[in-house]
Amino acid sequence: MNKKIIFSFLLIFTLSFTACEDYLEVQPATGFTEAEVFKSEKDIQSAIAGVYTLLLTEDAYSNRLAFVFNMNTDVEMSGVSTNTVNGNGSDLACYDPKPYWTTLNSTWSAMYKIINTANDVIQGIENSDLYKADPKTQPSNIMQMYGEAKTIRAMVYLDMIRIWGDVVFRTKSSTGDENFAVGVTDRNVILEFLIDDLKSAEPFMKNASELDFGVERASRSFNQSLIGLLALTRGGWTLRPDENNPASKGHMERGKNHEVYYDIAILYLNKVIQGKQHDLKLSFKDFWVKQNNWETPVTDDVIFSLPMLKNSSGEYGYFVGIPIIEGSHPYGGASGNLSLCGEYLYSFDNKDLRRDVTCAPLSYDQNLNQVIRLDLARLAVGKWSKLYMNDPLGSTSTKGTGINYSWMRFADVLLMYAEAVNERFGPREDAKECLRRVRRRAFAQTSWSDKVDNYVQSKSSPELFFKAIMDERKWEFGGESKRKFDLARWNKFSEVIYNQYYKLLNWGRVANGAYVPGIDQVPGSIYYKNIPDPINSGRTILDIKGIDEILQARPAGYTELLFATSWYSLNNDTASYEPRNDIKWSFRGFINYTNASSVSPTDPLRYLCPYPSKVITDHRGAIQNFYGFNF
């Protein structure tokens, strides 16, 4: 995509129509009136571009929403090695964030800046002569941009709900003279409004193939997909506070009439599928290679992609991706700070083509030789790598890779549709076909009979099919920060994290010779050696053994790297064998080494964030924290 034109609109708009810092004060201070700002299609396009530019800030989707708000699951994992609360309150990964974590407030403010700018644009369009003159009988440029603003607003509200639960709800432009002592609105009320709001805009929006900048703008398919996700969120489970006991971590609850919302999801997700605007044409690897080369085909997997800009925004390939040490090469550095759980690598079928694209047990040194990098929480996300770039950014480049953030993919739509149909009607044939479509891309055609057709056919009950959906989303979206949201709405968060804690602990025990029922063999060690790179002369790559098969002895010429064996060892201070510290404490806000015996897989897990301290103060008592965040 050529982003130069759209970003010229961003600059024009942000200079003339930027929301003020406080989310209640969004009236432009420049003297522009609605009549002036919205008098032509070009003016409205500039206003819409202003909403997009706010999405791309670090406190929004360039950094925080893309990956900083991750929690440790059976997919993404950041090792936490202490039971001591981080002084800056950032212990979100282990379910123990604090209201004084400054990132909470900066992201809260950034999200409301987007929402209020979208509100201004929506109101400006509604009051414009162009909108009033539009017949509203079919898609048009004006109605597309109107729906675009509403769709982006709904996306941001959904992400806020998934982070905080109930939030302050504004749908009108604010002049800043409202009472600051406003409270939050129930999340279900917000979700229901957003669903109806997007429904009203959907018939008048255009397909990505009809839009300049394609999937870098909110299209009709994205509107439909988002309605489906909003409906699944409304129909799913959520953590609710025990209002008479703020110290309680709350309880999981499903809203009334959830069947109605699964039916809405089925209807609108099926519109995306039947619309045939998107497909899974590229191979899984080729899809990600193109993403790393700033190529986003309009009619393939991506439905909505936030348009990052080279050397300015976006940290895919840097923060999320394969680590690289800066050197004389043209790729610059990459931290690869977001990691996958080492055990996740072994959850894949050995023939699943997604495994080696998603999971990278390596990094690159300053000479671009591969270096082994695999442990409990040191498995890199391989979907993003600067080494995929045909036109590297330069030897000193780090952040600002410009790689787009693909917020919604067609694979997501297929699996959500299969999930919703199964919830209402069991594993109906159309649901099975959606699962098959995702798995066909995941396996070579020679394996389809076994790994696709037979596999899907074996999921003959609603329970088995739902478990298959859980697994498929786990394998499809590794590193894309979706797992925490899925586990929450399925009411599976507690169960999965409880089982993951014991799985990691027991892998360490078995690797050290203990007997654990149901666990026969685990990868105690892996073995590796460097061999010449057949493609790049002068470099070396890794030959790794112990992933496709579990080896009991070191092959000749290979170096041993302790894997699960190192997860359970002798503590010299206590003179007893114990799990490693990052197993003890990585899930500590829910289950840890000191409370494990009293935790149940049905206990509520506190996956929501606290309201920022500044928000509590600014709202003068109208907002308060629950879930034990003040205790």
Please report which confidence band the pLDDT of residue 574 belongs to, taking 50, 70 and 90 as the band edges.
Answer: confident
Angle at 182 between CA 181 and CA 183, to 5 degrees: 120
Beta strands (DSSP E) in 489-594 are 525-532, 540-545, 559-562, 568-571, 576-579
Q: Taking residues 226-246, report their average pLDDT.
A: 96
Answer whether residue 163 shows pLDDT above 90.
Answer: yes
Among 6-10, 14-18, 355-359, the minimum mean pLDDT is found in: 14-18
Flag whether 126 is in a domain. Answer: yes
Q: What is the pLDDT of residue 175?
A: 59
Question: 240-294: per-residue pLDDT in tens?
Answer: 999 889 889 999 999 999 999 999 999 999 999 999 999 999 999 999 999 999 9
Per DSSP, 206 falls in state P
Whether residue 536 contacts residue 495, with contact meaning beta carbons closer than 8 Å, is answered with no
SS3 content of the chain, % helix, strand, coil (to 5): 45, 10, 45
Whether residue 353 contacts residue 54, with contact meaning beta carbons closer than 8 Å, is answered with no
Distance CA 274, CA 441 (A): 19
Which residue(s) pair with 340 in the sheet?
A: 76, 379
Answer whether residue 8 shows pLDDT above 50.
Answer: no
Among 17-21, 263-267, 363-367, the minimum mean pLDDT is found in: 17-21
Per DSSP, 548 falls in state S
Whether residue 476 contacts residue 415, with contact meaning beta carbons closer than 8 Å, is answered with yes
Flag whether 133 is in a domain. Answer: yes
Domain that includes residue 135, residue range: 1-62+101-205
* Beta carbons within 8 Å of 312's beta carbon, 6+ residues apart: 400, 402
Q: What is the pLDDT of residue 434?
A: 98
Distance CA 83, CA 182 (A): 36
In the chain, % of residues over pLDDT 70? 93
* Beta carbons within 8 Å of 450's beta carbon, 6+ residues apart: none
CB atoms within 10 A of CB 425: 13
Question: 587-610: per-residue pLDDT in tens?
Answer: 999 999 999 999 999 999 999 999
Flag whether 90 is in a domain. Answer: no
List b or e across 70-95, with b for residues whose CB sees 16 or more CB atoms inside 10 angstroms: bbbbbbbbbbbeeeeebeebbbbbbb
Q: Which of 620, 618, 619, 615 is nearest to 629 (CA)?
A: 615
Answer whether residue 2 shows pLDDT above 60.
Answer: no
Flag whether 27 is in a domain. Answer: yes
Rg (CA), the chain: 25
Q: How far lies 40's CA from each of 10, 35, 48, 128, 213, in Å? A: 16, 9, 13, 9, 20
Distance CA 220, CA 303 (A): 10
Q: How far lies 576's CA from each of 569, 570, 580, in Å? A: 8, 6, 12
Structure tokens at 162: 């998934």
The CATH number of the domain holding residue 24 is: 1.25.40.890
Question: 36-76: per-residue pLDDT in tens?
Answer: 679 999 999 999 999 999 999 999 999 998 888 999 999 99
Distance CA 229, CA 77 (A): 24
Distance CA 519, CA 193 (A): 48
Q: Which of 221, 230, 51, 177 is nearest to 125 (CA)?
A: 51
User: Which tops the pLDDT comparison, 178 or 114?
Assistant: 114
Whether residue 381 contacts residue 570, with contact meaning beta carbons closer than 8 Å, is answered with no
Distance CA 96, CA 259 (A): 33
Among 33-47, 220-234, 403-417, 495-509, the minimum mean pLDDT is found in: 33-47
**For the chain, how many structural domains are there in total?**
1
Beta strands (DSSP E) in 496-573 are 525-532, 540-545, 559-562, 568-571
Q: What is the pLDDT of residue 19?
A: 34
Q: Is the pTM of this model over 0.85?
A: yes
Q: What is the pLDDT of residue 36?
A: 65
Flag whether 287 is in a domain. Answer: no
Answer whether residue 353 shows pLDDT above 90.
Answer: yes
Distance CA 478, CA 320 (A): 11
Among 102-106, 199-203, 627-631, the minimum mean pLDDT is found in: 627-631
Looking up tokens 């941001």 gives: 156
Strands 568-571 and 576-579, bridge-based pairing: antiparallel
Mean pLDDT over all residues of the chain?
A: 93
CB atoms within 10 A of CB 28: 17
List b or e across 446-465, with b for residues whose CB sees 16 or more CB atoms inside 10 angstroms: ebeeebbeebbeebeeeeeb
Flag whether 630 is in a domain. Answer: no
Q: Taking residues 501-521, report their average pLDDT.
A: 96
Three-state SS for 478?
coil
Q: Which of 31-35, 528-532, 567-571 has the highest mean pLDDT?
A: 528-532
Flag whether 7 is in a domain. Answer: yes
Distance CA 466, CA 473 (A): 11
Q: How far lies 630's CA from each of 6, 240, 246, in Å? A: 44, 16, 8
Flag whether 37 is in a domain. Answer: yes
Answer whether residue 5 shows pLDDT above 80.
Answer: no
Distance CA 579, CA 337 (A): 23
Whether residue 500 contacts residue 74, with contact meaning beta carbons closer than 8 Å, is answered with yes
Looking up tokens 């629950």 gives: 626
Q: What is the pLDDT of residue 33?
A: 54
Answer whether residue 314 shows pLDDT above 70.
Answer: yes
Q: What is the pLDDT of residue 24?
A: 30
Answer whether residue 180 shows pLDDT above 70.
Answer: no
Looking up tokens 């799990």 gives: 579
What does 403-448 look like in DSSP terms, one character per residue?
--EEEEEHHHHHHHHHHHHHHHHSS-HHHHHHHHHHHHHHS-GGGI
Distance CA 599, CA 162 (A): 24
Signed CA dihedral, 341, 346, 348, 350: sign only: positive
Angle at 238 between CA 107 and CA 52, to 5 degrees: 30
Q: What is the pLDDT of residue 178?
A: 54
Q: Taking residues 138-165, report their average pLDDT.
A: 98
Answer whether residue 201 shows pLDDT above 90.
Answer: yes
Question: 554-569: per-residue pLDDT in tens?
Answer: 999 999 999 999 999 8
Please report which confidence band the pLDDT of residue 573 belongs to, taking 50, 70 and 90 as the band edges.
Answer: confident
